[in-house]
Amino acid sequence: MGFMDKLKSKFTQNKETEEISEKYKEGMKKSRNTFSGKINDLIARYRKVDEDFFEELEEVLISADVGVMTVMDLIDELKMEVKRQNIKDTKEVKNVISEKLVEIYYGDENEEIEKLKVKEDELSVILVVGVNGVGKTTSIGKLAHQLKTQGKNVVLAAGDTFRAGAIEQLEVWGERAGVDVIKQSAGSDPAAVIFDGIKAAKSRGADVLICDTAGRLQNKVNLMNELAKVKRVIEREIPGAPHEVLLVLDATTGQNALSQAKTFSEATDVTGIVLTKLDGTAKGGIVLAIRNELNIPVKFVGLGEKVDDLQQFDAHAFVYGLFADMMEDSEEEQKDV
């Protein structure tokens, strides 16, 4: 059984996973069309696995924003694998490509890394960080809704006191999700707002506190220091907190996402990534590079603008989404034969 079939059978085993992969397929349809379309093109055009084939494959992967270094590594490994298995037909390479992509992502670990770490009986704190305009506040709204649906008592802290309208935006999401929002006036100290949030969450016996922060570019030293301070306040108030530090990344972002992940990690020890705007044509391939180079897993993906459009990330599903067309095509071919 080829790797693709294994992936596929994994997602047809039960209804629940089928639904997830359906969502992925739907949300990533536009991404998929171009990406797998290109790989199919490539495979149709090249019968032989040679240098030209690899060069073009390199371009296909780069066009998906998979980091340049990661692509180079991947191509090198593929070349070795092709030699080792003595693969001559480009069609067979397909399996090896997706196998390698999933392998890059998981390394020695498994699906556990994608689960959100929240405590069962005590307050868990989630700090949400990222550059401007990636969708932090929207993701918090969606996450609050998701946790609330799971029966958790959620409180939000409006730590973006800088951008005009940010507090109001979080309040609207709070209303939609039916959770409380702790706020101060615009321009106040974000660390103080978070401190208030912790106090309020404790006194209300909340299960999860999600802290919004202002968007900031990672090269602004002062703003990154401010963020580190916010984290210190949380650490001081609750030992072991924050339980998650989520970096929100825009899927359209290119190589700079690596720099974002690196610098935000230095300031706040990022534990996971929320990949937003994956419902466009951007492929978000940079998460593979981030996982490869910085070992940070993706926890959620944003696949639309509705309140329930936040999905738990699953690398198998991610790759399945990217390659689904290809799998269906190859099945048809098999039937023809």
Could you give the CA distance from residue 24 to residue 282 in angstroms, rounded to a whole number? 14
CA–CA distance, 256 with 254 (Å, rounded to integer): 5
Least Cα distance to 109 among 311, 317, 295 occurs for: 295
User: Which strand (E) or helix (H) includes residue 154?
Assistant: strand 154-157
Q: By the 8 A CB rule, do 160 and 191 touch?
A: no
Select 133 or 240, whichever has its Cβ closest to another protein. 133
The answer to whether the beta carbons of residues 242 and 127 sit under 8 Å apart is yes
| Alpha-carbon torsion angle 27, 33, 38, 40, nearest 10 | 110
Q: Within 10 Å of residue 77's Cβ, how many Cβ atoms?
A: 14
By CB under 8 A, what part of segment 290-319 binds another protein? 293, 305
Instruction: Tell the smallest beta-carbon distance from residue 5 to another protein (Å).
Output: 30
* 114 contacts another protein (rule: CB under 8 A): no
> Judged by CB, which is closer to another protein: 7, or 261?
261
Residue from 183, 243, 277, 299 binding another protein (CB under 8 A): 277
Binding segment for another protein (CB under 8 A), chosen from 16-24, 89-97, 109-117, 212-220, is: 212-220
Give the nearer residue to another protein in terms of CB position, either 162 or 313.
162
Question: What's the CA gap between 247 and 127, in Å, rounded?
Answer: 9
**Ramachandran assignment for 182, one of left (phi > 0), alpha (psi -120 to 50 degrees), beta (any other):** beta
Query: How far is Cα 237 from Cα 213, in angstroms, rounded to an integer?
Result: 18
Q: How many residues bind another protein (CB under 8 A)?
A: 50
Rounded to a whole number of angstroms, the minimum distance from the CB of residue 260 to another protein is 8
Which one of 27, 135, 272, 297 is in contact with another protein (CB under 8 A)? 135
Binding mask 6-25 for another protein (x = CB under 8 A): --------------------
Tokens encoding 56: 């073009």
Footprint (CB under 8 A) of another protein, residues 232-271: 250, 252-259, 262
To the nearest whole angstrom, how small is the minimum distance from the Cβ of residue 55 to another protein? 11
Interatomic CA distance for residues 254 and 66, integer angstroms: 8
- Contacts to another protein from residues 136-195, by CB under 8 A: 162-166, 168-169, 171-173, 186
Among residues 201 and 249, whose Cβ is nearest to another protein? 249
Residues of this chain that bind another protein (CB under 8 A): 30, 34, 59, 62-65, 67-69, 131-135, 162-166, 168-169, 171-173, 186, 217-221, 250, 252-259, 262, 277, 279-283, 286, 293, 305
